[in-house]
Every structure is written in C-alpha cells, then in structure tokens.
Chain A
Amino acid sequence: MIEFQNIGKSYDGVMAVDNLNLHIAQGELVVFIGPSGSGKSTALKMINRMIDHDRGHILLEGREIDSFDVRELRRRMGYAIQSVGLFPHWTVARNIATVPQLLGWPRERIHQRVCELLTLFGMAPAQFLQRLPHQLSGGQQQRVGVARALAADPAVLLMDEPFGALDPVTRATLQLELKRVHQSSGKTIVLVTHDIDEALLLADRIVLLNHGQVVQVATPLALLSNPADDFVLDFVGRADLGIKLLSLKPVAPLVCRAPAPPGSPTLANTASLREAVATLAVHGASVLSIVNLQQEVVGSLHAADVFSPATPSHG
C-alpha cells in the first residue's frame, strides 16, 4: 500500500529521517513511535506531502507520490491531528463534508455519508449535525476530526498523535473506537504517538524510531519479547515490561477445564493475563474461576501457570 524506499529528510544538515525503508500492507495499522525529535511525525507527514522528502521514493499503491497532483493525493488520504483543526465557523456536518465537497459529491450522498460517520462514532446525527465545533467536548471534537478524515472513504488514514490532548478516560474510549473502526473498515492506518501503551494496544506493527533512524520494526508481542537493544528496552519501560507483555496475552490458552474450588474469584475468558494477575493480587487468590460471556463457568486459571512458560499442568 505504502512503501518507503531509502527515505531521507534533513533540516539544516541534521537528518530528521535517515534511510527509512518500510512497507505498509493494505489494511495494516502501523504505529510510528519514538521520543521527541525522532522523526516519527516527519515520516508521517511525508506520506501526504505536508513535508517533502529529500531522498528516496515513497510509493502509494505502487505509484510514486510525487507523480500525483498534491491536492489529489491529499484528498485520497484522511488526516487527523492532535489539535483537531476543525473549521470553527462551520457546523459539524460541513466540517465532515469538507473532502467530499471538494471532490464534488452530490448533496444527498454527502448527507448520507456524514450521518453514517456520526453514527459510527456514537454521535446522534439529529443532535450533532448543526452544532458548531465550540459546542462540542474535546472528545467529540476529536471524533468529528477523525470522521472528517474518513469522510471520502480514503484508502489510507494518517493520524498525528490524535488522542494526545484528551483526558485518559476519553482517550481510552477513542482508542477502542479506532480499533473497532479499523477492524470493520479494513483501512490502512498510520498513527504517530509517543505513548507506548497506545502503540501496544492499537498496532499491528510498531515502528520504533530514534534520531531519525528505525531502531526496530515488530509486532507488539515481538517488540516486548525480543527488544532489539537497550534503547528499545528503556523505551518500552524496563520495569514493567513483563506486565505489558501479560497485557498482550489472552487467558484462553492457559485455562484448564477442571473447575476452580468454590468461592474463587471469577474472570471473563476474554480478559488478558494482566487482568488475571490483577484479579489474583486483589483477592490474594491462587486460582481464578473463568467464565464466558453468559457467566457460565468454563474452567480455571492457576497463578503458577501464568508465571511458568509451560503449558497448563492441570489439563
């Protein structure tokens, strides 16, 4: 879908991005992460030519991005940023309709699409269509911002720290919504963040950058289990690496069929191992009773199995 080939960009002789090679597959959610000045945002902005690269080639669906008309290229990609940048003098409806209007969609189709997107983000069209941005909460503004980016059904969605300015509760909600939208729409999404938890939660693959260079490209699980060097280890958080790893693993494979003793604390079978450990710690228990969505007991989870690499011993 998107391919970086030997991409370089320098500002006053300092390399912001150096020799970046990366292939982003169709439908993949790739997260660029790194400390400030690592070049993650620059790399993102080069995709829709908000910043022009100095060296190398960027291909979109196999075609050099420089060969597109720059406005046409940008209209093919959704773009959402931390400060949202809604047009303050336009209603929510007109904000979302920006790109479809530029593309000359018929009025009826635009209206339908706007309503569809508002519904997708849990905002009742009747209630929100005619509101102005300043009449929305921060979370609602960012939802409208993402809806606007998705409006013309672009194949690629670029997001530059989209949830950075939100409070933790709203951020968590929007992260889950994004995950849902990604899974249901199959869009290729490139997201920039400096929040490792956000990256671990959302990413299919994480691209960790430092000083403009790629340090490691890996799935969240691989990044935690095989960090390439000390920098990666420090960045993901040496101290709670294990906890983060647990949060990526589901309880299901470790559940044994034998029921837990009566009175054991219960946990849903869709939970992560991190939640299992938390529940064990809270109740001071060594065994959990695992239940399904209908609250029927399906088995048990032993503390010992969580911490030993072996398969369940009580099978």
Chain B
Amino acid sequence: MRWQAHPVLAVCTTLGLWAAWALPVARLAPNRLLSGEPVFLSALLPGWAGWMVLPLIVLVFSPTQAPAPIPTVSAPGGLMDRWHPVTTLLLMAALLAGLFWLVGRYAQQVTFTESRLARTSLGAGFWSLLALAWLASLDAVQHLTRSAVLRHALMGGVALPFVTLLMLGVGHDLSILKEYANRDDVFWTAVRRHLQIVAVATLPSVLLALPLAWACSRFTRLRQAVFPLLNIIQTIPSIALFGLFMAPLAWLALRFPALSQAGISGVGLAPAVLALVLYSLLPITRSALAGLDQVPEATQTAARAMGMSAGQIFWRVELPLALPVLLPGLRTAVVQTIGLAAVTALVGAGGLGSLMFDGLFSAANDLVLLGVLPIVLLAMLVDALFKAAISFTRPATVLDGAPPVAQLADAGRYTA
C-alpha cells in the first residue's frame, strides 16, 4: 500500500472547490436581455452539503496497491488500481448530473415564485465545474483502457446521467432551454443546415486534395508551386474570403441564368462552401502527400511489377497505406470546417452560426450559447469518431513489429 496524490484529480478538485465557492453557478435576471444577479452554489445547497466533497478528497489522496509508480509511455495503467479511475468516473457522472439537477430545480422554483419573464442562466461556476469534471474523467479514462473506442464509450457513459436528465426536461426552465423551446424548429433546421454545409464543403475538398496530393507525390515541381499557394489561402481571414467570392459569384449568377437556377448566387451556400473547400485543401493535401510519401518504394515497385495499373496501385496499395497519416489531416480539416461554418451565416449560408449571430445582435447571451454549444459538441463528436477510426489504422512503415498508431499516440492523447 502506498499513499499518493493523483495530480490531475488534485488540480481539478482544488480548482473545482474554488469555482464552486467563488463563481456564480447561475444568474437570475428579470428578463432575457438583462444580465442578472449572481446565484452561488451555497444558496442552492443545505449547510451540511459541504461534506459531500469528502469522497473527492479521499480519492485525491487514496491509497493504491501499485507496487511502484512507473510512469512510462507504455504502462500508464501501472500508476493506479482499477477501482480508483472507476470511482472517479462514477463520482464525476454524479457530480455533472447533480449540478444540473440542482440548477434546473432552482430555475423551476424561480418560474413559480417570480415573474414568468424571469430568466435563470447558467453561470461561470457551472461551466467551470463542467469542464473540470470532464477533465478529471478524461484522466481517469486514460488510466483504464488503451482502446480509443472504449475511452469514448466511457466518456459517453459519464455524460449519460446528465443527458438523461436533460431529456427528461429537468432543466426546461433554464434560459438556454427556453430559447430552444421558443425556436426548436429553427434550431433543428439550423443543425441540419450546418451539417449540410460541412458535408458539401468536405467532400469536394477531399476529391480535389487526393488527386492533387497524388500529382504532387510524383512531380516535385508541382509540390513547390501548390503548397505556397495553399498556405497563402490559409492566411486570408475567413470573412474576407467570403467577401472575395460574393462579387464574382453574383456576377456569374447574373450572367448565366442556369447558375442562379441551380441555386448559385453571391450570398448563401455558394461563397461559403467555396471558401471552406479552399481552407480544407491545405490540411488534407498536406497530410495525403505525407501519407503517400511514406509508402515504401519497394512496395510501389512490387505493385508495378505485379502488373497493377496506376489506379489499382493507388486504391489498393497507396491509399490504404497513406490512411494513418491522411486521417489526422482530414480530422483537422473537418473540425476546422465545423467551426468556420458558423461564420458562413454572415454571408447568408445559415446554419448554427445564424442562431449565434441572432443572439449577438439582440444581446441575448443564451441564444448565442444555443448556437455555439452544438457547434462545440459537433466538433468534439467528429473528433472522437476520427480518433477511433485512426486507432484502427497502421502506418505503412511498420514492418518490424512496432505497435499500431493507437498505442504510439497513447500517452499524449488526452493530456493536451
């Protein structure tokens, strides 16, 4: 038996205690446009509730049966026993759900006792505790398993009680959910539109980037010309790039009626998608090229000598071998596109960005959140899916029994 502190959990607990004490867990305002009075956690809890932090403190300084702490890349699990991370996860799930239930119940009381226009919004304390609990869970999950898929599933499990409460309508008197209730049809249209923008932008950039990378891998001259250009595009601010496309597209639509009938005009989807495609081009092309470059020369020679056509070599040999390097680049591009797609609302493309800008222009903070939170969740979800997919790939250079990518990247995965 050894007594030891668990550093990540210790930091999260310390910061969490401070956030719970010093930051308002909610705000109460007379209507949706005014910023309200802070409401602290202590006001929502009975006096004895302070003792509930005790299990956390115990967990931070818990005894472990590990023979010796060996913090190596290959054996992060050696630090802790299994019960420790499991308890941490359960505690964090309970904390998330409990906090939400508490604030939700408070909002309900406010609706009964105060004016119907009164709004309870989530405060800095709530968001901080949410983030810290998530961090602590990520750390615990890292000590439990190597598999990326299992890790994501466990994180889903941590969020499950919280999500269940949300589905049961526990927080429906919170300001952000009132905003949602007021425009739930607009919200889901916006989500669908957002996904549409991302899909319509990602597909052409993959279709452009793959042949471009393939050509660059064969002709060094082309490589020298293509990458500076893509780099320059990347430095143009997104709003400026949308603006650049508006005039030419409007002119084209005017000049060729067929185009405008196909839905192309100076505003809307067309300039948005064009700009997003250009932004995605650099990360996808660069990673595809790096992926193709590390396909062993001998493998290519063998494929050619076996009588494979250029197409067969690409689809059967080069692309599968490039995937472990290509996928992380694609992941970067898609996550970036999900974020940038919010800005496309400015040129009338719609999507979750339109909720966000509506909120900004009418100074309704919770409407802003209603636009932003799904974007963040979407980005996290896509990121997780890609990571899971990447963990199944194996770099082409692995010929001597090295572990697959998932294990190589293991140590640093959740520490960032």
Contact = CB atoms under 8 A, between A and B. Distances in A.
* Real binding pair: yes
Interface of A: 48, 50, 70-75, 79, 81, 83-89, 98-99, 102, 133-135, 145, 148
B245 to A, nearest CB: 40
A200 B300 CA distance: 32
A98 B299 CA distance: 12
B312 A81 contact: no
A134 B306 contact: no
Nearest to B399: A134
Contacts of B232: none
B302 A134 contact: no
A73 B308 CA distance: 11
A98 B298 contact: no
B299 A88 contact: yes
Contacts of A72: 307
Contacts of B300: 85
B303 A87 contact: yes
Given A79-B305, A87-B299, A89-B394, A102 B312 contact: yes
B391 to A, nearest CB: 15
Contacts of A79: 302, 305-306
Contacts of A133: 399
6 contacts: A50-B304, A85-B298, A87-B302, A89-B320, A102-B308, A134-B400
Given A79-B305, A134-B399, 20 more contacts: A48-B305, A70-B307, A71-B307, A71-B309, A79-B302, A79-B306, A85-B302, A86-B302, A87-B299, A87-B302, A88-B321, A88-B394, A89-B321, A99-B307, A102-B306, A134-B398, A134-B401, A134-B402, A135-B401, A145-B302
Closest 5 CB pairs of A and B: A85-B302, A85-B298, A74-B307, A83-B298, A75-B307
Given A81-B298, A88-B296, A102-B312, A74 B394 contact: no
Contacts of B298: 81, 83-85
A81 B302 contact: yes
Interface in B357-416: 394, 396, 398-402
A74 B398 CA distance: 28
Contact of A71 (B299, B308, B399, B402): B308
Question: What is the interface of chain A mostly: helix, strand, loop, or mixed?
Answer: helix
Contacts of A84: 298, 302
Contacts of A83: 296-298
Nearest to A76: B307
A88 B398 contact: yes
Contacts of B306: 74-75, 79, 98-99, 102, 148
B311 to A, nearest CB: 11
Chain B interface residue number, banded: 20 to 34
A85 B307 contact: no
Contacts of A73: 307
Contacts of A74: 304-307
A74 B400 CA distance: 29
Nearest to B312: A102
Interface string B177-215: 000000000000000000000000000000000000000
B166 interface: no
B94 interface: no
A227 B305 CA distance: 35
B124 to A, nearest CB: 49
Given A79-B302, A102-B312, A85 B399 contact: no
Interface in B264-320: 296-309, 312, 317, 320
Nearest to B302: A85
A85 B301 contact: yes
B343 to A, nearest CB: 39
Contacts of B312: 102
B402 to A, nearest CB: 8
Greatest chain B CB density within 10 A among A50, A83, A88, A98 is at: A88
A155 to B, nearest CB: 14
Contacts of B401: 134-135
B307 A87 contact: no
A74 B298 CA distance: 16
A218 B308 CA distance: 36
A86 B296 CA distance: 10
A86 B320 CA distance: 14
Contacts of B400: 134
Contacts of B320: 89
Contacts of A148: 306
Nearest to B301: A85
Contacts of B308: 71, 98, 102
Contacts of A89: 320-321, 394, 396
Greatest chain B CB density within 10 A among A48, A75, A89 is at: A89
A134 B402 CA distance: 8
Greatest chain B CB density within 10 A among A48, A87, A98 is at: A87
A112 to B, nearest CB: 20
Contacts of A86: 299, 302
Nearest to A50: B305
Contacts of A81: 298, 301-302, 305
Contacts of A70: 307
Contacts of A87: 299, 302-303, 317
B307 A102 contact: yes
Contacts of A145: 302
B322 to A, nearest CB: 10
Contacts of A102: 306-308, 312
A83 B301 CA distance: 10
Contacts of B304: 50, 74
Contacts of B309: 71
A100 B157 CA distance: 48
Nearest to B394: A89
A3 to B, nearest CB: 21
Contacts of A134: 398-402
Nearest to B402: A134
